[in-house]
Amino acid sequence: MDPHEVYKIIIIGLIAGTAMVSVVAQAWFKRPRGSGTDSRQLTEIADRLARLESAVDAIAVETERISEGQRFTTKLLGERAGVPAGQVRP
């Protein structure tokens, strides 16, 4: 490999590294300072989590209803075909 190519690669790497360090440094120094989240934000987060919890509970209830309906339908179709419940047709 030509020494000039090696120098070009090293210089490009140094420029890219310097750019990355400067971007990280700017983000670090521009980050918000303070005690973290305030009580208003914590209340909003708690409210959102409560709504999420109730939505998940509602989804669980509906899923259980769907599975009960599926079991009932499977039972009816099995009885209709003459296969006792719980047995697999050969």
Listed by start position, the domains of the chain span 3-29+38-80
Query: Over its length of 90 residues, how does the chain's per-residue pLDDT go in tens digits?
Result: 677 788 888 888 889 989 999 989 998 888 777 666 688 888 999 999 999 999 999 999 999 999 999 999 988 888 887 766 566 555
Contact in structure between 85 and 78 (CB atoms under 8 Å): yes
What pLDDT score does 9 carry? 86
**The model's pTM:** 0.47
What pLDDT score does 65 carry? 92
Contact in structure between 84 and 78 (CB atoms under 8 Å): yes
| Residues sharing a CB contact under 8 Å with residue 84, sequence separation 6 or more, in sequence order | 78
